[in-house]
Structure 1
Amino acid sequence: MRAGMIALMLALAAGPAAALSLPGWLSFGEEPAAVEGPPRPVVSVIVDDRGLDARWIPGMVAARTQVQLGFQALGRMIARPVDLGDKVAAGDLLAQLSTDDLAATVRAARAALDAAEVQERTARATLERTQALAARNVASAAQLEQAQQAASAATAAADQARSELLQAEDAEGFARMTAPFAGVVSAVYEAPGAVVGAGAPVLQLSAENTPEVVIDLPESALVGLGPGAVFTVWQRSDPQTEVTAVLDRIDPIADSATRTRRLYLTLPPDTPFRLGALVRARFGSVDAPSLSLPAEAIVTRDGVSTVWRVTRSDAGARVDPVAVEAAAPFRGRVSITRGLEAGDEVVIRGVNSLAPGQPVGRRLEP
């Protein structure tokens, strides 16, 4: 009886256990079957030096040759026939001082010279008489010496008067300011009627035959740049009109406030940009493109910079690492000097989770 009861209890216990058993596909002792899916899409960019993402720097058109002009004499300016923006030729009248005071100064200097010459003639005549009297032992040696000193002083005074007359005449001639070269009036500092001092700037003249673009860059952005580097310049209002500019020089000292250095790009003489115009500039040209990428596309390992380039064909797409040479980041982008060509597709998101030869899907815009 007890044996039957034990057998019945074992049967009842085995029933629920069998009912609660896991199916075979949930067995923890076996690996689940892999589920294949489509390749992951990638966020990428097409490398191009002319796209909207191309790095550009604001700049201004200036003249390499420009001077501030002023009068060499104190006076009241009575005329200034030119104004800001006017074009002038070499020798054109730019401004004129009143010559009334200058003419009076010339007359006073001429009168002073006449008086000095009279005194010089009188002193020389006195010296000649004293020398004649001394030869007959009528005049003493002291009188002769005194006459010689008076004649020398009169001669020196006459020379000084001649010099002052020449200065006064030169000052009268400096009342007219003429253009030393052909150019455009780029700044005006004094208006007609003002009293200007000697050397005080009246206006600024800029030559139009030497236009250049002035841009400012931080030290890190100058890597690989040197005289002769080619830039493309355009205006925001007319992006289709592009002009090639060549880097001429870089300021050796950084600006104390912005810590940037100034670059001067030489423009061709027939440039369509006027002096003072605001322009945009980027490194490279159509014949020598400059490629750039977002900084997050660069993967640096063991000192080597690489990017993931996408190769697409009818059979699909895959990514492969490509070693590149890149400059320091500037405004979130880096310039690629070697390793890529215009038109290459480069991944910019999830670059640390890719493997060489990995298949990828369609391209997504960043």
Structure 2
Amino acid sequence: MSVGLDAVTRMGLLRITVFGLLALVVGCSAEPPPEKTAVRVVAQQVAQVAGLAQTVLTGDVQARFVSELAFPSAGKVAQLSVDVGDKVVTGQVLGRLDPLELRATLDISEAELQALQARVDLARADYSRQARLLPQGYTNRNEYERAQAALKGAEAELMTATARHQLARDAVADADLLALADGVVVARPVAPGEVVQAGQVVLSLAHDEAPEAVFDWYEALPTGLVIGAPIHLHTLSEPAREISGQVREIAPSVSASSGTLRIRVSLPAEAWHWPLGTVVAARLAESLGPVVVLPWAALSRDQGQPAVWRIDAQQRVSLSRVEVSRYETGRVLVAAGLRDGDLVVAQGGQLLYPGQQVEVANVLAVSGPGAQP
């Protein structure tokens, strides 16, 4: 019985010895895992510069003054000698009412005036006779007062007829529609042959004097954009030729139809040759204070917040949250979160993780002052 136990014990010791030797051999032959290769990145050294945001507005040239032209009296439009887009000069005849109806109305008013004048003369003679006879007792008070009332009534009707006659004369004289200023016809809602009422708009005339550029702005106004502020403009066809305008008017409220604020800019005399409707662009400069200009590729995220990869002295990276002042084409303007001299990853940070070793392949030059897109 003891012999069997000794055999079992020896077999167990033998197995332990064999497994130990195998573990020792494997442990001695295994090599340590290779270290991960450092990721090559492009870095940029942080340096704050004066931030200058450039905002570009697009609008068009419009007339500051637009006159709505109308005939002062009703009638049939016999002629309109201009169309939309035509240039006109002061005093030019633009349209004419049918003179036959106007002259007929004048003839009727003249005949009515003559008849009422005769009636007044008759009433005045009757009143004079009653005034002479009343003191002598040859007439009574009732006849005298009747003659007096008839004279006053006839004189009142004569005054009314005289006013109507003057209106008829003015209508004949105003049958021609004249241009009030040099300009361009921008609307013609009436066609020849139509009957118009007095004061109904027939033509719209945009004056050549003092054109202006009009812009619609969808956001809060940039800092410094106030009435009287200078603003640089150029046409889309000549972007290299800039002129300086002046903000004349800023709408006090947002338009209910477009949701924009309308800005009107007075143009200098050198821009008065720009045709109405010319598309113009305005450039606004807004100071942002000290900022750090980084390329778009440098921006990352840390729990939903903007962040950048900062490189420490051991060439390891860590995420640092930043405050972005403005997003622009190809770059971001960082207002807070970085200090001068910091080294951040500008390119190649897409697959980094905190504490990873990096190799700086190149250091980008610091962007100059200003923040032009």
**What TM-score do you get using the length of structure 1 for normalisation?**
0.71
Deviation track 1:33-62 (CA, whole Å, cap 9, x = no partner) reads 7965644357xxx99989xxx653332211
Distance in 1 between residues matched to 2:202 and 2:171, nearest whole Å: 17
Counterpart contact for 1:86–1:184, Cα < 8 Å: yes
Deviation track 1:284-305 (CA, whole Å, cap 9, x = no partner) reads 49xxxxxx99999999xxxxxx
Question: Which ranges of structure 2 fall in alignment gaps of 5 or more residues?
Answer: 1-5, 287-292, 301-305, 311-319, 336-344, 366-372
Rg comparison, structure with higher value: 2
Say which of 5, 14, 20 aligns to 2:20: 14
After TM superposition, the structure 1 = structure 2 runs for residues 54-133 of structure 1, keeping only pairs within 5 Å, are 55-133=55-133
1:131 deviates by 0.8
What's the secondary structure of 1:240's corresponding residue? coil
1:348 deviates by 10
| Residue type of the alignment partner of 2:113 | L
Could you tell me which residue of structure 2 aligns to residue 212 of structure 1? 212
1:6 deviates by 7.7
After TM superposition, the structure 1 = structure 2 runs for residues 22-41 of structure 1, keeping only pairs within 5 Å, are 26=32, 38-40=40-42
Could you tell me which residue of structure 1 aligns to residue 3 of structure 2? none
| Residue type of the alignment partner of 2:140 | S
What's the secondary structure of 2:85's corresponding residue? coil
Could you tell me which residue of structure 2 aligns to residue 149 of structure 1? 149
Distance in 2 between residues matched to 1:41 and 1:361, nearest whole Å: 6
After TM superposition, the structure 1 = structure 2 runs for residues 163-174 of structure 1, keeping only pairs within 5 Å, are 163-174=163-174
**What TM-score do you get using the length of structure 2 for normalisation?**
0.69
| Residue type of the alignment partner of 1:222 | L
CA pair 293-128 structure 1, distance change in 2 beyond 3 A = farther
CA pair 163-127 structure 1, distance change in 2 beyond 3 A = same
What is the identity percentage for the equivalent residue pairs of Structure 1 and Structure 2? 29
Distance in 2 between residues matched to 1:334 and 1:13, nearest whole Å: 63
Give the total of aligned pairs. Answer: 323
Distance in 1 between residues matched to 2:133 and 2:216, nearest whole Å: 83
Question: Which ranges of structure 1 fall in alignment gaps of 5 or more residues?
Answer: 286-291, 300-305, 311-319, 338-345
Greater relative CO (CA pairs within 8 A, separation 6+): 2
**What is the alpha-carbon root mean square deviation over aligned residues?**
4.7
Distance in 1 between residues matched to 2:196 and 2:331, nearest whole Å: 51
Distance in 2 between residues matched to 1:114 and 1:162, nearest whole Å: 10
1:330 deviates by 10
| Residue type of the alignment partner of 1:274 | P
Q: Please state if 1:222 is matched with 2:190.
A: no
1:236 deviates by 3.4
After TM superposition, the structure 1 = structure 2 runs for residues 184-199 of structure 1, keeping only pairs within 5 Å, are 184-199=184-199
Distance in 1 between residues matched to 2:198 and 2:329, nearest whole Å: 48
Could you tell me which residue of structure 1 aligns to residue 317 of structure 2? none
1:89 deviates by 2.1
| Residue type of the alignment partner of 1:239 | P
| Residue type of the alignment partner of 1:190 | V
1:25 deviates by 6.8
Distance in 2 between residues matched to 1:322 and 1:8, nearest whole Å: 66
What's the secondary structure of 2:239's corresponding residue? strand
Counterpart contact for 1:63–1:206, Cα < 8 Å: yes
